[in-house]
Amino acid sequence: MCYWWERNVTEKKKIQIKKEMIYMRNTNELAAASVKRLIQLTGNQRVSAGAVNGLREYLENRAMNISETAQKLARHAGRKTVTDLDIRMAIDELEKKSITPP
């Protein structure tokens, strides 16, 4: 069986497409119950599903950005393993980008 994306596509492109398909399948990495508990820690007893999904989406996007930046830092250092220092440096780098001087 041949999928539409396998026709006349280079191996590199096939790998990229497969990675994208896997990522699209696993978009919700954080459990809704955990995010709901985080919101409830502020004293809220009732939390809507929309609030949980909104915060979960934001946290996942932020975590992906931090992870991608940390991975680049690890590669730049000649390592395959991302360390806690890479994560901290990535957070600092992204915070500096988000703060714009007046």
* pTM across the whole model: 0.66
pLDDT in tens, the chain (102 residues): 455 555 666 777 767 776 676 655 556 788 889 999 999 999 988 999 999 989 998 998 899 999 999 999 999 999 999 999 999 999 999 998 877 665
Tally of CA atoms within 13 A in the half-sphere of 72 that contains its CB: 10
Report whether 84 contacts 74 (CB < 8 A).
no
Q: Which residue ranges form the domains of the chain, and what is each CATH number?
A: 4-98 (1.10.20.10)
d(CA 20, CA 22): 5
Report whether 69 contacts 94 (CB < 8 A).
yes
DSSP letter, residue 8: T
3-class secondary structure, 25: helix
3-class secondary structure, 54: helix
